[in-house]
Amino acid sequence: MVEVFRTNVCDRAHAQKLVEQIQTIFSHYSANFDLDDCDKILRVKCSDGCVEPASVIRLVGELGFVAEILPE
């Protein structure tokens, strides 16, 4: 399953650090950013089940950024 988030991440170095943290803490998640999108999209895919949005939002927040689920 894939979950898509709107973020306030603008810098590619910050995006890379967030991806590394997400994939380290949640080993079954794969993450990537689309910083060219106006919503600074973070996509998180789970290889064996569902993404836990609250956990991703909390982690992003702990690292000093904001993430919210992007409505479909």
* pLDDT at residue number 71: 84
| Count of domains observed in the chain | 1
CB-based contact 13:19 (threshold 8 Å)? no
Which residues constitute the domain of residue 17?
2-69
The closest alpha carbon to 2, from 55, 60, 48, 44, belongs to: 44
Q: What is the CATH number of the domain that holds 8?
A: 3.30.70.100
- CB under 8 Å, gap of 24 or more: what pairs does 60-63 form? 60/5, 60/7, 60/18, 63/17, 63/18, 63/21
The greatest distance separating any two alpha carbons of the chain, rounded to the nearest whole angstrom, comes to 30
Residues 2-57 pLDDT 10s: 999 999 999 999 999 999 999 999 999 999 999 999 999 999 999 888 999 999 99
